[in-house]
Amino acid sequence: MTNPLLSDWDTPFDLPPFDAISDDDFAPALDAALEAAKANINAITATTDAPTFTNTIEALEVSEALLGRVLGTFYAVAGADSNPEREALQRDFAPKLSAYGSWMSSNQPLFSRIETLWDQRDTLDLTPEQSRVLMLTRRGFVRSGALLQGDAADKLRDVKSRLSVIGTDFVQNLLADEREWFMPLDADGLAGLPDFVVATARAAGKEKDAGGPVLTLSRSLIVPFLQFSDRRDLRQKAYEAWTARGANGGKTDNRAIAAETLKLRADRAQLLGYETFADYKLETEMAGTPAAVRDLLMQVWEPAKESALADAKQLERMLHADGWDGPLEAWDWRYYSEKQRKKLHDLDEAELKPYLQLDRMIEAAFACSNRLFGLTFEEIDAPKYHADVRLWDVTRNGKHVAVFIGDYFARGSKRSGAWCSAMRSQQKLEGDIRSHVINVCNFAKPEDGQPALLSYDDARTLFHEFGHALHQMLSDVTYESISGTSVARDFVELPSQLFEHWLEVPEVLSEFATHAQTGEPMPEDLLKRMLNAATYDMGFSTVEYVASALVDLGFHEGPPPADPMQKQAEILEEIGMPHAIRMRHATPHFAHVFAGDGYSCGYYSYMWSEVMDADAFAAFEEVGDPFDPALAKRLEATILSSGGSVDAAELYTDFRGRLPGVQALLKGRGLAQDS
């Protein structure tokens, strides 16, 4: 029987035929795709023709087409709909892919051809995009160890292989902890919870076959539980379970993995000639150096901590007024902060949530992209990897632009968080290839027949991930290696965080924030109160984020710590972490940093990008129109369509005329001294 992953696909828009693919197909497809990629690369090095951009760089660009198709399909389902078979495949694939990467980067005949082109680059008559691809290709090989030989090359290969294995282990341990823990809620355990939280707990209990409502470690359930539950003992139990993910002892404990990861990263950097992993990692980012990252984070840390400590005093007074002695604890913050928000802004999430329907927020994101960029979305019927998935054909002026895939609901088979990925990226080298882009979220799934309701933070997450999707869908480059989000890590969050601002545009909410039962638009008074409260508790959220970023940086800018938990504690003590706030991501569940190299020494990048997104949206505010056609056109032409074809700082300067300072960020978060 033919393996569907290796066959031509007779599906709408060449989407994967998920209804024909079984888990047994993935392993043989990967082996075949790796062999095909190696054969293509061997063909490049076997030719006796002198190296040219076409026969070397462009040939390399298309050499992994089948591999990309297989892995794009596999990782889409492995992250969003895992099962024991797929987890085993991930463990098996990690060393195979690492070995292939090492074979590629140590392929001296191939690198020799690239080096020849690099030496001749001024005589090759390359376009600016081709020059950029040549530079990035050579840099990637060098940073992967192409200049190493002998024992050093062997050791680097072993280091990268081990990192790939334990990165997979880290994620799977975290998923296991999240999947296995739940807490039944009796009538007393539901005390204080609004109807929407109770309904979510019932739906979670149904999924767990628990015979009643349960609390799980899904963020979309545990955060509102911590906000509303009157049971302090249960809040503490739930919070400690949430923050103990990856640190429960036994086979799913991630602490030893974190220590080994940091040691191996330091070894990797030193083999490549860098003093620390931070020096290695940040060399290719906009920040450039660890010092620049620390400077940004500390500019934000001090005003954020000052704001959080002032808030903590008020919340602790409320705790004591309720008859509890002792200090405010981390499991108290959200509960009393919610009460304070209601008091200060007359804003109750239970009142707000019926106006933030998932379907309407999806429509809002689509409408904003239509007004800004002329995109139109039509839902289509095509094979899916899960029944909850939805698909849209994205067009502009009648021409196909992309396929957008939305997978919005939490489930036990899906890892936590929210992300955007591309099963297929835009490129023109092999024809007009358009992207297949997935947004994955973990919103609470409603009971049957009920609308899915979001918190305001959930709605922001939806807009954030859709901003990433726009970066992929509007990409307009020739080469896949620089397509879409293939940009500097501290630039990749700019489009996503920038798009969040359109959720705050009053006319958008007036149209799309409609009541789930009555269909009436959100009352103007409630809309104003919601927007006025947008920066409420910003000290807390900024402190928990920046603390995580500073720990990430501290792990990588010096010798690797033997005990990361001790190092984490030392960093938090040094910066004066408030007692009642914890890191957003403690080390044992800090998947951004330990699941792979993507955000390692790069968690700061959300804030680096926020400096730009605050300043970029100010351009629309300055002209008095959030949908100004000329600005939207310039935004697409510079930032959204260019991928990695131009240096990130140059792209931003082309859009805004200059690079921004931190003040716009502080003002946007309500932390500026004059605010």
- The DSSP H or E segment spanning 184 is strand 182-184
Write the CB contacts of 209 (distance below 8 Å, at least 6 apart in sequence).
none
Q: 399-409 and 435-443 as β-strands: parallel, antiparallel, unpaired?
A: parallel
H helix intervals, 400-522 = 456-473, 489-500, 506-512
Give the C-alpha separation, 258 to 170, whole Å.
Answer: 8
Give the C-alpha separation, 345 to 420, whole Å.
Answer: 33
The DSSP code for 170 is: H
The DSSP code for 82 is: -
What's the number of CA atoms in the CB half-sphere (13 Å) around residue 196? Answer: 26
- Reduce the DSSP state of residue 427 to 3 states and report it: strand
How long is the chain?
Answer: 675
Catalytic position from the list 465, 480, 557, 636: 465
Give the C-alpha separation, 111 to 126, whole Å.
Answer: 19
Write the CB contacts of 251 (distance below 8 Å, at least 6 apart in sequence).
173
Tokens found for residue 644:
């990695």
Give the C-alpha separation, 497 to 639, whole Å.
Answer: 13
Dihedral (C-alpha) 446, 202, 226, 467: value to the nearest 10 degrees? -20
Tell me how many degrees the CA angle 25-28-31 measures, rounded to the nearest 5: 140
Give the C-alpha separation, 78 to 662, whole Å.
Answer: 38
Q: How many helices and strands in the chain, by DSSP H and E?
A: 27, 7
Give the C-alpha separation, 131 to 118, whole Å.
Answer: 9
Q: Are 380 and 392 in contact (CB under 8 A)?
A: yes
Give the C-alpha separation, 411 to 214, whole Å.
Answer: 14
Q: Are 95 and 164 in contact (CB under 8 A)?
A: yes
Distances (CA, A) of 201 to 189, 298, 328, 605, 653: 11, 39, 27, 34, 48
Residue owning tokens 């393996």 = 3
- Phi first, then psi, for residue 539 (nearest 5°) are -60, -45
465 is annotated as an active-site residue: yes
Amino acid present at 396:
R
Distances (CA, A) of 638 to 437, 571, 657: 21, 39, 11
Write the CB contacts of 620 (distance below 8 Å, at least 6 apart in sequence).
501, 626, 627, 628, 631
Give the C-alpha separation, 372 to 368, whole Å.
Answer: 6
Q: 214-216 and 182-184 as β-strands: parallel, antiparallel, unpaired?
A: antiparallel
Amino acid present at 289:
T
State the sign of the Cα–Cα–Cα–Cα dihedral 597, 599, 604, 609.
positive
Q: Are 497 and 464 in contact (CB under 8 A)?
A: yes
What DSSP string runs through 309-373?
HHHHHHHHHHHHHTT--S---HHHHHHHHHHHHHHHH---HHHHGGG-BHHHHHHHHHHHHHHHH
Catalytic residues: 465
